[in-house]
Amino acid sequence: MIWQEYAKQLQEVLALEGSPVGVAFSDVPASNGKSTKVWACAALYQAARKGATFNISAETCVCPGGLMSLGLSAPSPEQAALVKKYLIEGEKFSSCNAAFFRARALGQGQPPLGVSKYVVIGPLEEFELKPDLVLFLCNPVQASRLVTLSSYETGIPVQAQLSSSTCGGAVTIPLSTGRVNVTFLDLSSRHLVKGFKDSDLFFSVPFFLVRSIVESIPLCTAGTAEPGMGIDEVRIR
């Protein structure tokens, strides 16, 4: 499958620690996927660094925020109030009710409620289903290369929304906008998933844009191309 070939090439060129991650919204589970209870951010980490595939459903997603971000369940009024209270008084990510509201109202991501029964998350080189998104758990240098590769063909700048939960920034926003997004991982995810490094971030790409990134690799110096001229040739003397 073409995305499995993409995975091998991208992993090698970018020198990723682990694999690119496929995310697919599906009404059937992947045959190689686990159906164990899991946090969405933990599933993303396990897929990238441990090679695990998960079939996440409303029954197996243990995070209320992840349920909403992945579109698996709409929270009840009581659950929504508890999440708001937790973000303000527990995590202290919002200063007050008004700030919490603005963070929701001004965000670009629309949770994909009702889109599918399962969200399949796993390493791209073993992914059975055609992915909707490809995620890279990478460092800033690798992300910088992906920024350049993703805009090489079109010249369209990356417009990232950085203020979001890990699963919201890595999945919800690129899925609903059809654009590349970057998330620095929220602090709760970093506390919960001990394997995340300080330098880790997620670079998320809708699958229909991945072809352009791969085809740009041999043409662009962010990939494998050699510079056509040196900086001394354009330096102002």
Inside any domain, residue 223: no
pLDDT of 137: 98
Into how many domains does the chain fold? 1
Q: Is residue 44 assigned to a domain? A: yes
Structure confidence at residue 145 (pLDDT): 98
> Residue 229: what pLDDT?
76
Q: What is the pLDDT of residue 228?
A: 76
State the pLDDT at residue 27. 96
> Taking the model in full, what pTM does it have?
0.89
Predicted pLDDT at 25:
98
Q: What is the pLDDT of residue 105?
A: 65
What are the residue ranges in the chain where pLDDT is below 70?
A: 80, 86-87, 92-93, 100, 103-106, 237
Please report the pLDDT score of residue 98 as a whole number.
77
In a domain, 229, yes or no: no
Q: What pLDDT does 142 receive?
A: 98
Structural domain contains residue 228: no
**Residue numbers of the domain that contains 44:** 2-216
pLDDT of residue 237: 67
Which residues have CB under 8 Å from 86's CB, separation 6+? none
pLDDT at 43: 98
What does the alpha-carbon distance between residue 21 and residue 123 come to, in Å, rounded to a whole number?
5
Task: Judge whether 170 and 186 are in contact, CB under 8 Å.
Answer: no
In a domain? residue 138: yes
Whether the CB-CB separation of 53 and 32 falls below 8 Å is answered with yes
Write down the pLDDT at residue 84: 72
Q: Could you tell me if residue 140 is inside a domain?
A: yes
Q: Is 237 a member of any domain? A: no
How many Å apart are CA 42 and CA 73, to the nearest integer?
19
Joined tokens for residue 53: 């595939």
